[in-house]
Amino acid sequence: MRIELASVMVDDLDKALRFYTEVLGFRPKVDMPLGASRWLTVVSQDAPDGTQLVLEPDAHPAAKPFKAALKRDGIPFTSFGVSDCKAEHERLVALGVRFTQPPVTMGPVTTAVFDDTCGNLLQIHQQH
């Protein structure tokens, strides 16, 4: 068994695709119609055959209150690995990304938390 897909629930697929590719720098992988919606995934630039991130509509009635509750408490539900957390923070801030937590080093890891504009907080982490 392998982890091939992970999902984030987003409020708008087009907006999400723009943010996750143009701002975060992921690469579109699959984009095909599926029922009333689309099957939309992105991958890391340096791992095009690696784990795909599914951009999934948050249409389920339970999704929005769940997301809002996590966001209220500053909780990122997804974390992406970076090699330099501070540099990535600076790059994203310059692109207008809003951070709820700037880079903070705690033990063996430096993390930062930001808003994906689609109803989620995301974390970036750098292992030392």
Does residue 24 contact residue 81 with C-beta atoms inside 8 Å?
A: no
Number of H helices, E strands in the chain: 3, 8
106 contacts another protein (rule: CB under 8 A) = yes
Q: Do the beta carbons of residue 30 and residue 52 sit within 8 Å?
A: yes
Closest approach, Cβ 119 to another protein, in A, equals 9
95 touching another protein, by CB under 8 A = no
Least distance in angstroms from the C-beta of 76 to another protein: 7
Which of the 8 DSSP states describes residue 9?
A: E
**6, 47, 87, 104: which one binds another protein (CB under 8 A):** 104
Select 49 or 73, whichever has its Cβ closest to another protein: 73
The DSSP output letter for 100 is E
- Helix %, strand %, coil % of the chain (to 5): 25, 45, 35
User: How many residues form the binding site for another protein (CB under 8 A)?
Assistant: 17
Q: Shortest approach of another protein to residue 42 CB, angstroms?
A: 23
Q: What's the one-letter identity of residue 99?
A: F
Binding residues for another protein, rule: CB under 8 A, are 68, 71-76, 98, 100-101, 104, 106-107, 111, 113, 115, 121
